A and B are shown apart, each in its own frame.
Chain A
Amino acid sequence: MAGGPSKALLAELASRPGRDSVTSSLIKGAFIGVSLLFLAALLFAPLITVFASALAKGYKLYFESFLDADTLAAIRLTLFTAAVVVPINTVFGVAAAWAIAKFEFKGKSILITLIDLPIAVSPVISGLIYVLLFGMQGWFGLWLQDHDISIIFALPGIVLATMFVTFPYVARELIPLMQQLGNDEEEAAITLGAGGLMTFFHVTLPKIRWGLLYGVILCNARAMGEFGAVSVVSGHIRGLTTTMPLHVEILYNEYNFVGAFAVASLLTLLAVVTLIIKTLVEWRTGYSKH
């Protein structure tokens, strides 16, 4: 949590003389009112709409929309993609965080900036670059065609684009945390004769596990929810190369609103669970990454 006023501070403020308290409470009311109104229109209304539209024609139709073969295929594809992407990006994130947080070397800030790059780049560009590499007119297009390998408009392209987009999240979560924790305990372990892996699993991992957990969960949420990048490389072949977000688009464009919002409601629940875990992790560690 980004630290609200503590109880002691509030008591102190309340006991303070001075400021005309009617104006103060008017201002307080106005700030809270404007905040809530703004969030209600922009955030709460859309969130509630997702569930209201999904259930608009009753529970029966809502649950039946998950029995559709293409919807099930989309859910399976999304789960598969996340199952490939998240572990790989977790290994990368831990490795990058170890190199960056534990050592001082030249070019470190450049490396950090490059790791952040996928977040700054438009998701459409994240898909475009793989089309330029592996598409029909791309660098490897002819070679791939000769060897009968399809990457674009197929599963490998979806996995690659998702991996690109979610690449920074674990590293970004771990680097500040590991820098803040310092090297003393690891150095003590090594001095006492522990090996590198033993030091990592018995000394570092217990300290960073909550941050790591949130990084992995966020990476997973982004992997399952990615739309732009995957949209460019997928080819939108129904039941074959449509992930859940792409399937939402297809159903929506077919005016199957119950179906579209039903799949969207699953993705919304995923986001809610992600935020709950984030909040729990922050309570657990008392550490806030802002």
Chain B
Amino acid sequence: MNSRFRQPSILPGFGLTLGFSTFFLCALVLIPLTALVMKAGSMGWRDFLGVLFDPRVLASFRLSFGASFLAALINSVFGFVIAWTLVRYEFPGRKLIDALIDMPFALPTAVSGIALTAVFAQNGWIGQHLAPFGIKVAYTWIGVVVALTLIGLPFVVRSIQPALIEVQRDLEDAAETLGAGRFTIFRRIILPTVLPALLTGFTMAFARGVGEYGSVIFIAGNLPMKTEIAPLLIVIKLEQFDYAGAAAIGFLMLVISFVMLLSINLLQTWGRRRLVAAGR
């Protein structure tokens, strides 16, 4: 049976395990997501666009995308520096720091949210040193960027690290012997090797940032039109029992997640193909 659908194997359990996982996937993930799509689809264009072009909703999307983009950009720079430090240098505590990079991933988002707010509030450890310069982080859009930077950091670092290990040292040495400066070596050898991984990490951090909720709502202050993120507007609409409005925003965010997931897959395929092409 299934001879065309799958290649023959003497191992048992294909039907059982595939059947169970597909059933579970459908029941838990696909059918509920269909409910969201159908709810949004039942609205009609006018209502659907009416929700999305509401100035408050537009402002929240602008903040969610803008802050996520900025955070992913900051992470690309500092994530590269951290990955480079962890891969290339030996120093006391390196292994500990390497292990701690995953912290934002393991830490519940509500905890990172209240902890960041405490640190960056005007009387906080860091906030009090920024206040004299007139920089307010907590309860402004800067706070949103800070929270999203923390959340996105492991994605960028963990994406770049293996790619940096792949960079061929002998190429760097050869370039150096031929008289290339540090910057040329970085631009011509290191950056091209790491670029697909860097873009993958950037996209992952960006995608995660757009959907992030728990760590942001504490530090954002949640002022309408100013510091409300898009996921928060879904929660607000649900609290007002405006299911259709919540579904419309949710549907748009779901489509965006799909596009992101697709781009991440394409970027990873591109990166693998380049490694193969380079004979590695």
Q: How far is the CA of A230 from the CA of B236 in the complex (A)?
A: 15
Contact B107 A271 (CB under 8 A): yes
- Chain B contacts for A232, CB-based, 8 A: 234-235, 238
- Return the chain B residue nearest A7 by Cβ: B90
Q: Does B270 lie at the interface of the complex (its beta carbon under 8 Å from any beta carbon of A)?
A: no
Q: Does B218 lie at the interface of the complex (its beta carbon under 8 Å from any beta carbon of A)?
A: yes
- Return the chain A residue nearest B33 by Cβ: A129
From the candidates A1, A124, A244, name the one contacting B213 in the complex (CB within 8 A): A124
Segment of A61-69, A142-150, A218-226 in the binding face: A218-226
Total interface residues on A, CB under 8 Å, equals 103
Given contacts A35-B81, A50-B115, A187-B11, contact A225 B103 (CB under 8 A): no
Q: How far is the CA of A195 from the CA of B112 in the complex (A)?
A: 48
Q: How far is the CA of A52 from the CA of B227 in the complex (A)?
A: 28
In the assembled complex, the CB of B166 is this many whole angstroms from the nearest CB of chain A, namely 11
Q: How far is the CA of A96 from the CA of B21 in the complex (A)?
A: 5
Contact A132 B109 (CB under 8 A): no
- Chain A contacts for B247, CB-based, 8 A: 128, 132
Contact B17 A132 (CB under 8 A): no
Segment of B45-53, B145-153, B188-196, B272-280 in the binding face: B145-153
Which residues 222-273 in A have Cβ within 8 Å of B in the complex? 224-228, 231-232, 244-246, 248-249, 252, 257, 260-261, 264, 267-268, 271
Write out, one digit per residue, whether chain B residues 54-72 have a CB within 8 A of any chain A CB (1) or not (0).
Answer: 0000000000000000000
Q: Does A80 lie at the interface of the complex (its beta carbon under 8 Å from any beta carbon of B)?
A: no
Which residues 61-111 in A have Cβ within 8 Å of B in the complex? 92, 95-96, 98-99, 102-106, 111
Q: How far is the CA of A131 from the CA of B246 in the complex (A)?
A: 10
Contact B106 A221 (CB under 8 A): yes
Contact B17 A96 (CB under 8 A): yes
- Chain B contacts for A99, CB-based, 8 A: 13-14, 17-18, 21
Q: Does A31 lie at the interface of the complex (its beta carbon under 8 Å from any beta carbon of B)?
A: yes
- Chain A contacts for B6, CB-based, 8 A: 103-106
Write out, one digit per residue, whether chain B residues 1-34 have a CB within 8 A of any chain A CB (1) or not (0).
Answer: 0100111011111101110111011001111110
Q: Does A39 lie at the interface of the complex (its beta carbon under 8 Å from any beta carbon of B)?
A: yes
From the candidates B12, B25, B87, B258, name the one contacting A196 in the complex (CB within 8 A): B12
Given contacts A43-B100, A99-B21, A275-B102, contact A34 B109 (CB under 8 A): no
Which residues 75-111 in B have Cβ within 8 Å of A in the complex? 78, 81-82, 84-91, 94-95, 97-100, 102-104, 106-111
Contact A131 B238 (CB under 8 A): yes
Contact A32 B85 (CB under 8 A): yes
Which residues 5-42 in A have Cβ within 8 Å of B in the complex? 5, 10, 18-19, 27-28, 31-32, 34-36, 38-39, 41-42
Given contacts A120-B207, A138-B35, contact A252 B218 (CB under 8 A): yes
Contact A95 B17 (CB under 8 A): yes
Q: Does B165 lie at the interface of the complex (its beta carbon under 8 Å from any beta carbon of A)?
A: yes
Contact B98 A10 (CB under 8 A): no
Q: Does B114 lie at the interface of the complex (its beta carbon under 8 Å from any beta carbon of A)?
A: yes
User: For the complex, would chain B's binding face be called helix, strand, loop or mixed by DSSP majority?
Assistant: helix
From the candidates A98, A115, A195, A228, name the one contacting B25 in the complex (CB within 8 A): A115
Q: Does A181 lie at the interface of the complex (its beta carbon under 8 Å from any beta carbon of B)?
A: no
From the candidates B13, B32, B98, B218, name the one contacting A129 in the complex (CB within 8 A): B32
Contact B246 A128 (CB under 8 A): yes
Contact A2 B98 (CB under 8 A): yes
Q: Does B36 lie at the interface of the complex (its beta carbon under 8 Å from any beta carbon of A)?
A: yes
Q: How far is the CA of A27 from the CA of B126 in the complex (A)?
A: 26
Q: How far is the CA of A75 from the CA of B87 in the complex (A)?
A: 40
Contact B25 A114 (CB under 8 A): yes
- Chain A contacts for B257, CB-based, 8 A: 117, 120-122, 125
- Chain B contacts for A135, CB-based, 8 A: 243
Contact A32 B211 (CB under 8 A): no
Given contacts A92-B21, A132-B39, contact A125 B211 (CB under 8 A): yes
Q: How far is the CA of A35 from the CA of B30 in the complex (A)?
A: 41
Given contacts A32-B91, A39-B82, A163-B28, contact A123 B214 (CB under 8 A): yes
Q: Does B261 lie at the interface of the complex (its beta carbon under 8 Å from any beta carbon of A)?
A: yes
Given contacts A35-B81, A196-B13, contact A50 B89 (CB under 8 A): no
A-B contact pairs, 29 of them (CB 8 A): A4-B87, A5-B90, A10-B90, A31-B81, A35-B81, A36-B97, A39-B82, A42-B150, A43-B100, A46-B112, A49-B115, A95-B21, A99-B13, A103-B14, A103-B18, A105-B5, A113-B261, A125-B254, A133-B31, A136-B241, A187-B11, A227-B109, A228-B231, A232-B235, A245-B111, A264-B115, A268-B111, A271-B107, A290-B161
Q: Can you name 15 extra interface pairs (CB under 8 A) apart from A49-B124, A125-B211?
A: A2-B162, A4-B87, A31-B85, A35-B85, A103-B6, A111-B21, A129-B33, A132-B243, A183-B11, A221-B106, A227-B109, A245-B108, A245-B109, A245-B111, A264-B111
